Structure 1
């Protein structure tokens, strides 16, 4: 039996630009495997790097903010499930979905916890080592409210599941752990990857629209790379990422081996040519796509604890984890020069991909959760009193503000 899913996108999926874009395609693939017809709708302008969803037979629909035309659209779609891409789209369109399609299951894909990322950014600015006191920020309040208004929220990191359950006290019935959904790496694929001696230099990669990525490149430039370069004077650091602004490109210094390369069509090509991936993220949340890319391509990494969060579970990492600049530099040099250690860490990465992110481990459980939820939706919502309260209060305030903006735009 064919079912209907409408995804309301915060941005167009760009799998070549961001981990969020890759994850969106993974979720689409999961639903299509379960015979869902998908429509992707967004109010944002299409970018040059946007994935062509028509190649997956997924219609693309432009929708408007603060416009009742969305009501007609969502009613005509009559979806079984509406998935909001990040809490911002739920704030904008959630009340309209609730009014026009009350029986549709409302699913929120958080991507990562924006409130946690904000807390860590605030802590970094204040030179605080503990971000806990900043967790109750405006972004967190809005995001947690959105989680309560939805029937189920997808959480990409086990660490964020624990934070929501233990710190924010969110009912576990509203949360579902769904990390990256990856194909396992075969032994044959391991053997085709370039070996230690075929690789040179260091790499870091990330979409520069994402503030943690820009900040980490600045940190590399000012703190980490001078120490590495001093001991490895012929080594280079290659910096890749979409949307490199002038403030990024001006960091390029050939004499220092600090090379801003910008956008790459294939992260696999550039990652496989590199010996080590560096991820000295100082703030952020979720799972780091650059480290997933590194493990898939057999590239060991040196990273901070924030970069490593949620990736490894009880398994050994694919490199070294350190928040000390001195230790970070020391371990980067060790991993670059010691082939035996490099091979051990590379093998760890393959094991992590296959044991912790194999899509077959998660797909059946997730679909069963949705099926059960659909059957028990009324009871599920009745048990979520906070969600009912927030749906009532937020819906009314957002609804009338939106209608006021719509009327104003008509004049």
Structure 2
């Protein structure tokens, strides 16, 4: 049985974030493909983490800047190493190359961090995406890997056209979802059985915090003018004190915090609002709404890369007044609501059906397994970057490791 080592940035929390659901989808792909899967992370344990043992996945704690990982990987020799975000490749990629050179290195970007960061800055002031230090780091990481899983077609286009990344290094792999059956649709709450607007998103993710502020300041007052008795419920893991201060029951603006069962609260809601002004990748809150039969109003950033040529399951508006009008119209018009809901089901089944993408990923992995050396020969830039990265990162990591050991020794001597 072939082994896949997943080096996670955090423990996967599918009930807390789209990134957590994405990671769980990838883990399920590998387990269903009969790989032995090991999840390794430097992160502290999380009470919200998925039960990996129940999925047949073992886990291991690893340390940054510690040669114990070298011994571990030398013995393991996994066929595939999957890095969860480019920061993990920066930390451990050179150790994989040195100690297990035959391992296929795959990067799951989640979304392009540099694009999200650029757009956040662009809200405040103009800047250049190609001059971004984060872009240089992340694109370099993509080059150093044998394959990068890109969640959005828009991001694939950006990497190919602006940064000239070879198509051979990229694979479009969106959310991997089950098809929605007619019998499942039958059991969903109807228009008359639902109430309240909803907005949902992890508050460790800055675009979600900005979206809630935007809703509170610009959009919700306009909706309340027409629908004074309706409520907006804001859900999301890890709300900060600043977010909680936005809670205002008198204005029917309720900060609810983490939802133990996010799917259930979305199913009970009538319309989902995602007023995102910056961000990247695909938005899990929007596919979740579609799966729950909940129409949405979002922005161009929210809908980016998500629906191709298919109709949206609601409205896409950037202007606060147009956003509010669309939300009111969708909330109060049954026929329009039902049409939007139907569009969402079609989007899930046509754009995100996991079995179709499983086949594509299968074919790519077979190609890499059968011709890894040749594949790497065509990636000269990646080889060059790896050569210099190994030199610089290796020396820095060794310095930190020795420094840590000396400090521990001094501390021990002082106690004695």
TM-score in terms of structure 1 length: 0.98
Alignment of 1:77-156 (within 5 A): 77-126=76-125, 128=126, 133-156=128-151
The match for 1:271 is 266
SS in 2 for 1:362: helix
Greater shift in the superposed pair: 138-147 or 46-55:
46-55
- Conservation of the 8 A alpha-carbon contact between 1:198 and 1:273: yes
1:48 aligns with 2:47: yes
1:60 aligns with 2:29: no
Of the candidates 321, 329, 337, which is equivalent to residue 342 of structure 1? 337
Q: Structure 1: which 5+ residue stretches go unaligned?
A: none
The match for 2:167 is 172
- Conservation of the 8 A alpha-carbon contact between 2:129 and 2:135: no
The match for 2:399 is 404
Q: By how many angstroms is 1:308 displaced? A: 0.3
The match for 1:36 is 35
The match for 1:283 is 278
Of the candidates 297, 320, 328, which is equivalent to residue 325 of structure 1? 320
Q: Could you tell me how far apart the structure 2 residues matched to 1:44 and 1:324 are? A: 39
Note the alpha carbon deviations across 1:317-346, whole angstroms, 9 max, x for none: 001001111111110110011111000000
The match for 2:370 is 375
Superposition misfits of 4+ residues, deviation over 4 angstroms: none
SS in 1 for 2:48: coil
SS in 1 for 2:272: strand
SS in 1 for 2:215: helix
Aligned length: 406
1:192 aligns with 2:187: yes
Q: Could you tell me how far apart the structure 1 residues matched to 2:69 and 2:245 are? A: 43
The match for 2:413 is none
Q: Could you tell me how far apart the structure 1 residues matched to 2:390 and 2:313 are? A: 46
Q: Could you tell me how far apart the structure 1 residues matched to 2:204 and 2:303 are? A: 21
Q: Structure 2: which 5+ residue stretches go unaligned?
A: 407-416
Q: By how many angstroms is 1:134 displaced? A: 3.2
Q: Could you tell me how far apart the structure 1 residues matched to 2:240 and 2:103 are? A: 41
Q: By how many angstroms is 1:135 displaced? A: 4.5
SS in 2 for 1:22: helix
Of the candidates 226, 229, 234, which is equivalent to residue 229 of structure 2? 234
Q: Could you tell me how far apart the structure 2 residues matched to 1:349 and 1:29 are? A: 24
TM-score in terms of structure 2 length: 0.97
1:213 aligns with 2:212: no
1:9 aligns with 2:8: yes
> Structure 1 residues 343 and 34, CA, compared in 2 at 3 Å: closer, same or farther?
same
> Structure 1 residues 224 and 135, CA, compared in 2 at 3 Å: closer, same or farther?
farther
The match for 1:255 is 250
- Conservation of the 8 A alpha-carbon contact between 2:281 and 2:305: yes
State the Cα RMSD in Å. 0.8
The match for 2:240 is 245
